[in-house]
Structure 1
Amino acid sequence: MGLGDLQTRIRRFPDGTRTAAEAAAAIGCELDQICKSLIFAADGVPVLVLMDGASRVDVELVRRELCAAKVTRAKADLVRETTGYAIGGVPPFGHRTRTRVLADRSLLEHDTVWAAAGTPYAVFPMEPEALIAHAGAALVDVRERTA
């Protein structure tokens, strides 16, 4: 499934949905119902992490999950090169290159999550199980825990 298959479900917002907070406000949903698509570099290799909009990724947990020596947030040029999309509009699937995908279990806490649809102005709803399957993601626990 690509983004083209979702055309009837895509919602566009003139004020933008670049951040999880902007998307949740535009949609009228909870922040944790947003699915963030974040690109990291694990030993220089791009990896996509899908995380709920209210949480942060624990880079150390990602590093351990991937058995990598070093994991960092990818720079904007690597994000576009890997996915074909700019930061703020990266969808969870349909990327330019095939990338390893990790999905945090927190996404399963809702019946529906909302993800970017290729631009900072568009999102689409999907059941989290279906989204994770279409993304080819491994289900993991990489959410940063607060004390």
Structure 2
Amino acid sequence: MSDSTPATKALQKGKVDFTLLHYDYDHDAERVGLQAAEAIGADPSEVFKSLMIELDGKPVCAVVPSDCEVNMKKLAKALGGKHAAMMQPVDAERITGYKVGGISPLGQRKRVRTALDESAMVRGLIHINGGQRGLQIRVEPKALVAHMGCVVADLVR
């Protein structure tokens, strides 16, 4: 597994400090984020999953704790839209350039508006996908927000 992905390159280019964690990805896991948390020995509320969503027909990314579900109404409101729905996996892969289970909010093929759940901001460090299955990035949420310019809002149920 390579440590160099579009996600890690984006952080390096932006001079954002981060640490990489490798783990054995379980293709059969029912909930990928929870499996990643267990594999790296982190609390599931510190491991954030990247969900690709269609908001009023346009792609957006929601980054929420792996032990939570995104609230589509809250996401739509946070990004100034009306209707949000999960994107089909094939569309998410085409837009991001990543495989499902390895989608990172960073370094996507097409840059999309991103919202980060506000719970990240009370943590010193969070984990996000590193752009491939079995790779997590540990990063300060404030640095991530500054680098990405993402919206921070209450996004979960």
Task: Give 1:44's aligned residue.
Answer: 57
Q: Distance in 1 between matches of 2:34 and 2:76?
A: 26
Sort the Cα spacing of 1:103 and 1:58 in 2 relative to 1 into closer, same or farther, 3 A: same
The residue type equivalent to 2:8 in the other structure is: L
TM-score normalised by structure 1 residue count: 0.87
3-state SS of paired residue (2:95): helix
Sort the Cα spacing of 1:15 and 1:140 in 2 relative to 1 into closer, same or farther, 3 A: closer
Q: Distance in 2 between matches of 1:15 and 1:48?
A: 22
The residue type equivalent to 2:117 in the other structure is: D
Q: Report percent identity of matched pairs.
A: 24
Task: Give 2:135's aligned residue.
Answer: 122
Q: Is 1:75 the counterpart of 2:88 in the alignment?
A: yes
Q: Distance in 1 between matches of 2:71 and 2:156?
A: 5
Q: Distance in 2 between matches of 1:57 and 1:28?
A: 23
Sort the Cα spacing of 1:121 and 1:2 in 2 relative to 1 into closer, same or farther, 3 A: closer
C-alpha displacement of 1:43: 1.4
Q: Is 1:54 the counterpart of 2:67 in the alignment?
A: yes
Task: Give 1:86's aligned residue.
Answer: 99
- Confirm or deny: 8 A CA contact 1:93 1:134 kept in the other structure: no
C-alpha displacement of 1:85: 0.6
Task: Give 2:43's aligned residue.
Answer: 30
TM-score normalised by structure 2 residue count: 0.82
- Confirm or deny: 8 A CA contact 2:79 2:151 kept in the other structure: no
The residue type equivalent to 1:3 in the other structure is: T
Q: Distance in 2 between matches of 1:66 and 1:32?
A: 23
C-alpha displacement of 1:14: 2.7
Q: Is 1:3 the counterpart of 2:13 in the alignment?
A: no
Unaligned runs of 5+ in 2: 1-5
Task: Give 1:14's aligned residue.
Answer: 24
Q: Distance in 2 between matches of 1:71 and 1:142?
A: 12
Q: Is 1:97 the counterpart of 2:110 in the alignment?
A: yes
C-alpha displacement of 1:16: 4.2
Equivalent of 1:133, from 135, 141, 146? 146
Q: Distance in 1 between matches of 2:137 and 2:26?
A: 13
How many matched pairs?
143
